[in-house]
Amino acid sequence: MTDANAPIVIFIDADACPVKDEIYKVAARHGLKVFVVANAFINAPRDPMIERVVVNATPDAADDWIAERSAPGSIVITADVPLAARAIKAGADVIAPNGKPFTEASIGMALATRNLMQNLREAGDVTGGPRPFAPRDRSTFLSALDLAIVRLKRKGFGG
């Protein structure tokens, strides 16, 4: 069992995250601290439980900041597969904005697919990106976030 006083915290890789408002609402309902991490100012509610973190503009600065603080009891929201892998290795729960959880079992295939697609794009074989974000993705995300919070509370976090 985990220390019942260990807080659950949420880290948002915020630059292109389409579900920030949903995260704020769920976090408020559960009384959770949220870190909104980006390399530029991101508008967020004025709330002591929501902290904006502006990192320098180097390519992986936001990822590094989040990965260095990821631990059991934290939830990382990102579509960035390498960041997801680092956070999982640190023991965090990781959810993509479309609601798809990244897990120890799935991250290897996600990394391999990402690398393959990057290589194909560099070779000019693929010009499209991921499918557009859909309303159903928002609903799937909310369910996945609630499930992750409940699971962490059952493990003794957030007491």
In order along its 159 residues, the chain shows pLDDT tens digits of 445 568 999 999 998 899 999 999 999 999 999 999 999 999 999 999 999 999 998 989 999 999 999 999 999 999 898 999 999 999 999 999 999 999 877 776 666 666 666 766 677 766 666 678 888 999 999 999 999 999 999 999 986
CATH number at residue 101: 3.40.50
Instruction: Give residue for tokens 């992986």.
Output: 60
Q: By the 8 A CB rule, do 64 and 53 touch?
A: no
- Residue 3 burial (C-beta neighbours within 10 Å; 0-12, 13-18, 19+): exposed
- Residue 159 inside a domain? The answer is no
Helical spans, DSSP H, in the chain? 20-30, 61-69, 81-89, 104-122, 135-154
- The residue segments making up the domain with residue 75 are 9-127+135-153
- Residue 20 inside a domain? The answer is yes
Distance CA 5, CA 110 (A): 33
- Residue 158 inside a domain? The answer is no
CA atoms within 13 A on the CB side of 66: 37
- pLDDT computed for residue 132 by the predictor: 80
- Residue 125 burial (C-beta neighbours within 10 Å; 0-12, 13-18, 19+): exposed
- pLDDT computed for residue 107 by the predictor: 73
Task: Provide the β-strand partners of residue 75.
Answer: 10, 93
3-state secondary structure of 141: helix
Strands 74-77, 93-95: pairing kind: parallel
Predicted TM-score (pTM) of this structure: 0.85
DSSP 74-119: EEEE-S-HHHHHHHHHTT-EEE-TTSPEE-HHHHHHHHHHHHHHHH
- Residue 1 inside a domain? The answer is no
- Residue 40 inside a domain? The answer is yes
Distance CA 123, CA 135 (A): 33
- pLDDT computed for residue 2 by the predictor: 47
- Residue 2 inside a domain? The answer is no
- Residue 3 inside a domain? The answer is no
Report the number of distinct structural domains present in the chain.
1
- Residue 73 inside a domain? The answer is yes
